[in-house]
Amino acid sequence: MCVALGLQGCGVSTSTVNLTAGPEPVELTMTPGVAQSGSSVELRVTSPASDSIAIESLDGLDRYWGKGSTLTTRLGSDFGDTLSGIRYAPREKGRLFDVLKKPMKVVVCRKGSCRD
């Protein structure tokens, strides 16, 4: 499963997303809900029946892994950046947005079987 981090210039909140439902739920929580440039966020992935959980950037350079049903880590605003310090504000139809989304891969393993 792939998710995206949002980077924005203001506001402090908590954002929670249910990545999967049903008998094997996976929940992702990010605090603050939107990261400011140059700051970090606490990311928590919880799946009650899992043996281990991993998150990684789409380019595979940034990876975090832990045993058990919860993975908690801090991600810097440069998570997934191949060249840190170089950023472009996103534009759509000529409009400049103040949010930059960073996708990540979440992998949950149970009894030797992993799925993302």
Distances in whole angstroms, Cα of residue 69 to Cα of each of 47, 49, 79, 101 = 5, 6, 23, 26
Q: What is the pLDDT of residue 11?
A: 47
Q: What is the pLDDT of residue 38?
A: 76
In whole angstroms, give the CA distance from residue 84 to residue 115. Answer: 29
Per-residue pLDDT of 10-33, as tens digits, reads 545 788 888 887 888 999 998 887
Q: Which domains does the chain have, with CATH numbers?
A: 2-76+98-111 (2.60.40)
Spans in the chain with pLDDT lower than 50: 11
Q: What is the pLDDT of residue 40?
A: 86
Please state the pTM of the whole predicted model. 0.74
Closest CA to 51 of 113, 116, 109, 115: 109
Distances in whole angstroms, Cα of residue 110 to Cα of each of 21, 52, 116 = 16, 7, 12
Number of Cβ atoms within 10 Å of the Cβ of 84:
10
